[in-house]
Structure 1
């Protein structure tokens, strides 16, 4: 019998993977058991399936799924870069030494690029919403329901931090004030990506989104370059103490930039190939 943890791990696989291998994988778990090591392997496999989606042999469907995977990946990387910008501004505002003009200009360019591409993503979301409304596939947006329980923690986090500073014994309040917004940000990045996969958009809509993803990828890369400049300045002026906070952020933004460029390039290639063959 499959326990709840294994069932959640099985459902975390992409819909295309579950359609092709879901029954076989579920039967295998029933035969081998669902211990902690099996659940861990399932979660690792689910992550690998999202990063390297199963592509069918048919060229048209293969290109459609490649564009779909590219759009979902680009959204996640855009969220990662967007979350890094206010943290970079906060870190620089707390430093006693003045921010170099080049670093400040890079941050300004990154902010304009990220907010500008945010409008592109909004247009894409409206296009997806219009298509799902027309086809009646509104159930594909159910993953967004996960935002509901985490959004209040994002809104009340400042008040919780203020209360925690008054009452030093309320460590659980401070933990909620920190972990709640983190859960919301992670859900904000993951839930729309899952919804995009469940929507099964048409090739026409995906072509528009995949080509727009190139601009999003360059905006994410701009944020990565700005983060490199900030971290370099902090290490040169603040020493090794700054590495504890800034180096993990640098790793995230650089990884997001690389993933956005590679994934958007593949998606755009699939979109342009479809245009040439039509």
Structure 2
């Protein structure tokens, strides 16, 4: 039997991978067991599959899957950088030492770049919505329903944190006030990526999304550079220790965004065999 953690890890793989290797991978997990190390390996493999997706042999389908995986990965990395940037800004603002002007300017540039990238992503989402409204097939958008149960935890988080203290009951209330918004932010990052992989937009829209992902990747990279500069130029050891996890997240997001968007742009610019896609969703 496959436990819940292993099933979640298996579902984390891209659809193209599951279509081709899903049954074999499930059988392998059933034979070897689903311990913590196996689940960790599955999650690492899922990340690699998103960055370097396995495609069918057909050239057009291969490029379509490549572009979809690129757009989905770019969205997740943008969310990661968007979450990390205000955290870094807050840490530096609480530091008793003044923030160097260069770091502050880099953070401002990164903030504007992320907002600009957000507008690009919003335009892409509206394009997908327009096609779905024309076809009337909303099945691919069902994963967004997961936002409904997590949204209230985000809204009531300030109230829960206000009652948090050191006694046991209030401690758990405060923990819920932190974990609830975290679950909402993770859902915001994951569910739209799933929607992108389930949809089959037209070639024109898909190429536009894949090419716009390059601009989003550069915005994420700008945020990563700002975080690196903040860590290098800030002399307070406490701030450096707290900033290290944020640095790791932004550097990983920048690398993934650049690699994935580059692959998606390459597929989008390949015009030898036009990508003939249906507008319907799976």
User: How far off its partner does 1:52 sit?
Assistant: 2.4
CA contact (8 A) 1:235 1:242 kept: no
Structure 1 segments (4+ residues) deviating >6 Å: none
**Take 1:77 and 1:125, find their aligned partners in 2: how far apart are those partners?**
16
TM-score (norm 1): 0.87
User: How far off its partner does 1:234 sit?
Assistant: 5.7
User: How far off its partner does 1:51 sit?
Assistant: 3.1
* Inter-CA distance 41–168: structure 2 relative to 1 (3 Å threshold): closer
User: How far off its partner does 1:235 sit?
Assistant: 6.0
* Inter-CA distance 31–172: structure 2 relative to 1 (3 Å threshold): same
What is the match of residue 258 of structure 2? 261
**RMSD (CA atoms):** 2.9
Instruction: State the secondary structure of the residue aligned to 1:108.
Output: helix
**Take 2:77 and 2:9, find their aligned partners in 1: how far apart are those partners?**
23
* Inter-CA distance 53–9: structure 2 relative to 1 (3 Å threshold): same
CA contact (8 A) 1:92 1:99 kept: yes
* Inter-CA distance 237–262: structure 2 relative to 1 (3 Å threshold): closer
Structure 1 portions without partners, runs of 5+: none
- 6-15 vs 196-205, which deviates more? 6-15
* Inter-CA distance 91–11: structure 2 relative to 1 (3 Å threshold): closer
User: How far off its partner does 1:74 sit?
Assistant: 0.7
**Over residues 143-175 of structure 1, what are the superposed CA-to-partner deviations in whole Å (9 max), with x where a residue is unaligned?**
112222222222221211111148675111111
More helix by share: 1
Structure 2 portions without partners, runs of 5+: 273-281
CA contact (8 A) 2:95 2:239 kept: no
User: How far off its partner does 1:34 sit?
Assistant: 5.3
**Take 1:140 and 1:207, find their aligned partners in 2: how far apart are those partners?**
19
CA contact (8 A) 2:211 2:268 kept: yes
**Take 2:32 and 2:231, find their aligned partners in 1: how far apart are those partners?**
51
**Over residues 82-112 of structure 1, what are the superposed CA-to-partner deviations in whole Å (9 max), with x where a residue is unaligned?**
1112112211221222222222221111111
What is the match of residue 171 of structure 2? 171
**Take 1:99 and 1:38, find their aligned partners in 2: how far apart are those partners?**
43
Number of aligned positions between the proteins: 273
TM-score (norm 2): 0.86
